[in-house]
Amino acid sequence: MTDATVSLESKKEFLGHPRGLVICFLTEMWERFSYYGMRALLIFYLTQHFLFSDEIAAGIYGAYISLVYITPVIGGIVADRYLGPAKAVVLGAILLVAGHMGMAIEGSQAVEVMVQGETFVQRDPFYLQVFYLSLALIIMGVGFLKANISTMVGSLYERTDPRRDGAFTLFYMGINLGSFFGAIVCGFLLQYYGFSFGFGAAGIGMLFGLLVFLRGQHYFGDLAKPKYPELLTQQVLPGINREWLIYGLTLIGVLVCWQLMQHRAVVGGLLGASLVVMTMAVVTYAFTKCEPHDRNRMLVCLVLMSYQIIFWSLFEQTGSSLNLMTDRNVDREILGLTIPAAAFQSVNAFFIITLAPLFNMMWLYLARRGWEPSTPMKFALSLIQLGLGFLFLVYGASLASDPTQVAVIWIVMLYLLHTTGELCISPVGLSMTTKLSVPRVVGMMMGCWFLASAAGNYVSGTIAAMTGSDTVGGEVADPAAALASYMEVYSTAGWYSIGAGVAAILLVPLLKHFMHGIK
Ligand code: GLN
């Protein structure tokens, strides 16, 4: 392909957006299909197939969901410096297919054995190791794919293009379309055919994602290629060029994650250390390598990223405490049908899919009139909506005369407000990262974005633990006490989040000033 055709390819449009957006949308849709599909089964695989206790299962689950958002830092940096986003996405997708397929190797189920009056669980060590290795492949795969497919969306637009936030909102719809169907398809397959089929479906979904990307990557032209291709072909070890060295080191990374999943106490420390190192790296880069305007934008970007720690730490109660609270305290009978608590997990994805186009239109409508809120304002609004969601539920719960009968509308209201909040921070933040970063390090910055998200996910576990109630055989002993404990935490969470949102509004003028014309 000549240079002229390359640039023409990246300019071809579909519904007013570059065609590359469709490729990012579909690739990420399949990636999230596999990620959320697998994640929906994971806790059951741990507790029902491997017979881990709830506590250990939660530890494995928590370490996994933190690590998947830590590795994008590595994937982002390697793409910025050497591979370019396209090769990084392909590498990530191959690792993901291998990881999800590995998960489908189920092996024999663990058994409880009695030895001298004590119960032990016997797990086949081979299959347990296959399982940890599969998780490690997924962790590294997400690391290479997630940040880079997101920067590829940004690369399709000029820094000030008004379509950029809308493009990320559409991209975000792809994410949630994948997550919605992933949980349903894999959950359904688990119910009727078992774990292998559920996990296998996630692997097949990811294979579709890989194929879509391989077929469509030409739409990006030069945008996704390595910036310095000569670096990749350079001989660095006898008979090995840098590109192959990177692939070799990636496999070592897989082995490291394999061990980390088995030494989980290290993950919290690793997260803290990564946050410190990355903040220092970005600040140093901004002060030494950037001209003043870019420096300020990078620093604003860093400040805004940190809002995510608050956001996800409360938002991610969805899968943990809110899930249990729905099970224990919400009246889930609708038209004579009892809706399983787990089904409420897809409410958020459903709202994203239905509301994202409206948000897209709203941002464009407001932008045309010059009324679109700035990125820092959208972030502040997201924290306020998050807080209001909790307060709605707390209010609704106070109306219930029976602690097991909180009306379903209140939990739906909470998810609705959490979703509108998410639409003001998550896709907007991806877009912001691509426009406030210096293009040379956009992959690294996107990695930092997900790192902050990892921190939020991690803290969410600690908050969920605060809501814990006494259980007997998995059932709460006292539903009224359980409800009171949830509401105490949620009410504090709600007010803190609103407080943080108000403080964030006060910061808007300052942050806007240092964004130097970028909104
Ligand atoms: N739900 C979004 C996704 O899966 C956001 C994840 C996050 O940043 N924590 O991409």
Could you tell me the distance, in angstroms and rounded to a whole number, from the CA of residue 70 to the centre of ligand 1?
13
- Protein residue with its CA nearest to atom 7 in ligand 1: 453
Nearest CA to ligand 1 atom 8: 453
Question: Do the domain assignments include residue 8?
Answer: no
Which tokens is 292 given? Answer: 């003043």
Indicate the top mutation candidate among 175, 181, 430, 446 to test ligand 1's pocket, ranked by most ligand atoms within 8 A of CB.
175
Q: 93: left (phi > 0), else alpha (psi -120 to 50), else beta?
A: alpha
| Segment holding 236, helix H or strand E | strand 235-237
Domain-embedded: residue 1: no
3-state SS class at 122: strand
In our burial notation (b when 16+ CB lie closer than 10 A, e otherwise), range 222-257 reads ebbebeeeeebeeeeeeeeebbebbeeebeebbeeb
Is position 9 within any domain?
Answer: no
Q: What's the gap in Å between 398 CA and the centre of ligand 1?
A: 31
pLDDT at position 184 is: 86
Sign of the dihedral through C-alpha 196, 197, 199, 200: positive
Atom 10 of ligand 1: nearest residue by CA position: 175
3-state secondary structure of 371: coil
* Residue 427 lies inside a defined structural domain of this protein: yes
272 assigned to some structural domain: yes
Mutate to test the pocket of ligand 1, among 153, 453, 457, 459 (most ligand atoms within 8 A of CB): 453
Query: CA-to-CA distance for 317 and 267, rounded, in angstroms?
Result: 20
Q: Is 498 helix (H, G, I), strand (E, B) or coil?
A: helix
Residue 202 to residue 179: CA distance in whole angstroms: 11
Dist. CA 163 → ligand 1 center (Å): 21
User: CB of 394 within 8 A of CB of 486?
Assistant: no
**What residues are in contact with ligand 1 under a 6 Å CB criterion?**
32, 175, 312, 426, 453
Q: How far is the CA of 439 from the centre of ligand 1 (A)?
A: 22
Tell me, in angstroms, the distance from the centre of ligand 1 to residue 176's CA.
9
Bridge partner residues of 330 (DSSP): 406
CATH assignment at residue 114: 1.20.1250.20
Helix (H, G, I), strand (E, B) or coil at 120: strand
Per-residue model confidence (pLDDT) at position 133: 98
| Ligand 1 atom at shortest distance from the alpha carbon of 176 | 1
Distance from the Cα of residue 245 to its chain's centroid: 28
Residue 1 CA, ligand 1 centroid: distance in Å: 35
The verdict on residue 13 lying in a domain is: no
Query: What pLDDT sits at residue 472?
Result: 63
CB 26 within 8 A of CB 175: no
**Mean pLDDT of successive 10-residue stretches along the chain, which has 519 residues:** 46 78 97 93 88 84 90 94 96 98 94 87 95 98 96 90 86 93 88 93 98 95 89 92 97 97 92 96 97 97 96 90 88 87 84 92 90 96 98 97 95 97 95 94 94 92 78 73 93 98 98 91
Buried b (16+ CB within 10 A) or exposed e, 383-422: bbbbbbbbbbbbebbeebeebbebebebbbbbbbbbbbbb
For the purposes of burial, counting CB atoms within 10 Å of the CB of 194, is it exposed (0-12), middle (13-18) or buried (19 or more)? middle
Residue 158 included in any domain: yes
Concatenated DSSP letters of 246-278: HHHHHHHHHHHHHHHTTSTHHHHHHHHHHHHHH
449 CA closest ligand 1 atom index: 8
The answer for residues whose C-beta is within 8 angstroms of residue 18's C-beta and 6 or more apart is 10, 11, 12, 156, 157, 219
Per-residue tokens: 208: 């579709």
Residue 498 sits in which domain range? 18-515
Nearest to 179 by CA among 350, 414, 24: 350
The span from the CA of 414 to the CA of 205, in Å, is 31
Contact in structure between 440 and 80 (CB atoms under 8 Å): yes
Say how far apart CA 98 and CA 202 lie, in whole Å: 11
Phi, psi of 13 (to 5 degrees): -115, 160
Separation of CA 146 and ligand 1 centre (Å): 9
Q: Is 470 exposed, middle or buried (0-12, 13-18, 19+ CB in 10 A)?
A: exposed
113 SS3 class: strand
User: d(Cα 349, Cα 199) in Å, to the nearest integer?
Assistant: 20
User: So what's the pLDDT on residue 263?
Assistant: 93
Per the structure, the count of domains in the chain is: 1
The answer to whether position 11 is within a domain reads no
